[in-house]
Copies of this chain bind each other. A is one copy, B any other.
Amino acid sequence: MGASEIRELLKVIEAPGVISFAGGIPDPALFPQAAVAEAYRHVLTATGPAALQYSVSDGDPELKSWVVRHMARLGVPCEPENILITSGSQQGLEFLGRLLISPGDAALVAAPTYLGALQAFSAYEPRYDALPTAETNRTATSYGERAPAFAYVVPEFANPSGETMDAAQRRDLLALARDLGTLVIEDSPYAELRFEGEAPPALLATDIAETGHIDRSRVAYCGSFSKIFTPGLRVGWICARADLIERLVLVKQASDLNAPRINQLVILRLAETLYAEQVAKARATYRVKRDAMLAALAAHMPAGARWTRPEGGMFIWLEVDGDFDAKAMLPDAVEAGVAYVPGSAFHHDGAGRNAMRLSYSLPDPATIETGVKRLAALISENIGGGRVRA
């Protein structure tokens, strides 16, 4: 399923009357609109024309300092030279792909994994390999002579599975990266959206604890303000060893010179004044929606349907036993007034035919209940066998 196919799909999904679990984007009701307006006014007054000029490629120094303090709270001691401000964390993924992948290199990804990461990496022609799991029991020797370019994971409330890597999985991944001599890309846009349970330490934090210093770490952490404040300003960051950041700064300079400074300064002001408050608000909002979706799934889904129970984030992954084809069912679903993204979109090899990603981030709880009811009815029919398409 290519990018353009997904885009066509999303157009259909936006049809009126369709309850969409497809989006996977933040609830705009959470955007701190008044604070954003105040921040633009403030920045233009306080910083003046310099807020509107070209600026340094590595990012605004004050915003970088805020990110350094934020990473310290996550157990990652680092310095400004370990930070690059990116135009959203998507840009971080694309830059790492560009810098690290030579055509034919292995890129290790989870199955399923974030579609946007596959899009960012694929331009550089990697060969995708599934990350080893306890089941596959693969080891370093399976990867041949040339080390993979990297292993890519969304360790917390993954897009699309909603799952969180446990301590053993994290330990195994870091050990594998060391054995292979490869990098781990830790894509962590959702980590703050934890509703319950204890947050495991970031992979980067664990690796620094083991190696003694970020400049010896094998983990590049991609962070984002998109899920806390707004994705519309396109501000994220990479935190990694200084020698890698130095090369990424040159990539940034060649790519678009710098992220808009005014947007960086607005995000800084929001971060300094509103961070904890916004995190609390987002957690409360998404938690209610997750609870609504889990309750509706339990109430309405037929036997043969299984789903994840995320401790945070925006996504639930639903699988249906037997000869079920989520992509083939989508037109009927849209007809019935509910939409999702078929699971195959999140696999590099077209697997995931029997799965779908459900996002609860946009609709309100009552609408979630209605949408899940519609979806459950349709899945029941399809399990019945009558309307499964090839």
A94 within 8 A of B: yes
List A260-295 residues whose CB lies under 8 Å from chain B. Answer: 260-263
Chain B contacts of A53 at CB under 8 A? Answer: 25-26, 28, 31, 230-232
From B41, B49, B90, B123, A31 is in contact (CB under 8 Å) with B49
Complex Cα gap A198–B190 (Å)? 55
Per the CB 8 Å criterion, the residue count for chain A at the interface is: 53
Distance, CA A160 to CA B36, complexed state (A):
39
Contacts of A123 in B (CB 8 A): 98, 251, 254
A256 at the interface (CB under 8 A from B): yes
Q: Is the CB of A50 within 8 A of B33?
A: no
- Nearest neighbor of A4 in chain B, beta-carbon distance: B250
The chain B residue sitting closest to A119, CB to CB, is B254
- CA–CA, A87 and B260, complex, Å: 9
Determine the chain B residues whose CB is within 8 A of the CB of A251 once the complex forms.
123
Is the pair A52, B25 in contact by a Cβ cutoff of 8 Å?
A: no
* Copies assembled: 2
Q: Is the interface of A mostly helix, strand, loop or mixed?
A: helix
Known: A88-B256, A91-B256, A263-B263. A52 touches B233 (CB 8 A): yes
Determine if A330 is an interface residue (Cβ-Cβ < 8 Å): no
Contact at A31–B52, with CB atoms within 8 Å?
yes
Q: Which of A287-320 contact B (CB under 8 A)?
A: none
- A31-81 contacts to B, CB under 8 A, are 31, 33, 36-37, 40-41, 44-45, 48-55
Kindly report which residue of chain B lies nearest to residue A231, judged by CB atoms: B54
CA–CA, A119 and B255, complex, Å: 8
Contacts of A116 in B (CB 8 A): 254, 257
Chain B residues, Cβ within 8 Å of A45: 37
Give CA–CA (A55, B28) in the complex, Å. 12
Q: Are A234 and B260 in contact (CB under 8 A)?
A: yes
Task: Provide the A241-260 mask, 1 if CB < 8 A to any CB of B, else 0.
Answer: 00000000011011111111
CB-defined contacts of A50 to chain B, threshold 8 Å: 28
* Shortest distance from the beta carbon of A180 to any chain B beta carbon, whole Å: 25
A134 within 8 A of B: no
Q: Is A120 an interface residue (CB 8 A)?
A: yes
Bound: A214/B234 CA distance, A: 32
Are B232's CB and A55's CB within 8 A?
yes
A199 on the interface (CB 8 Å rule)?
no
| One of B48, B253, B260 near A3 (C-beta < 8 A) | B253
The A101-128 residues at the B interface (CB cut-off 8 A) are 116, 119-120, 122-123
Inter-chain contact A257/B28, CB cutoff 8 Å = no
Interface positions of A (Cβ within 8 A of B): 3-4, 7, 25-26, 28-29, 31, 33, 36-37, 40-41, 44-45, 48-55, 86-88, 90-91, 94, 98, 116, 119-120, 122-123, 230-234, 250-251, 253-263
| Subset of 11 A-B contacts with CB under 8 Å | A3-B250, A3-B254, A26-B53, A28-B53, A29-B49, A31-B49, A52-B233, A88-B256, A90-B255, A90-B256, A234-B256
Given contacts A28-B52, A54-B231, A231-B257, 14 further A-B contacts (CB under 8 A): A3-B253, A4-B250, A7-B253, A33-B48, A36-B44, A52-B231, A88-B256, A88-B257, A90-B255, A90-B256, A91-B255, A91-B256, A233-B260, A234-B256
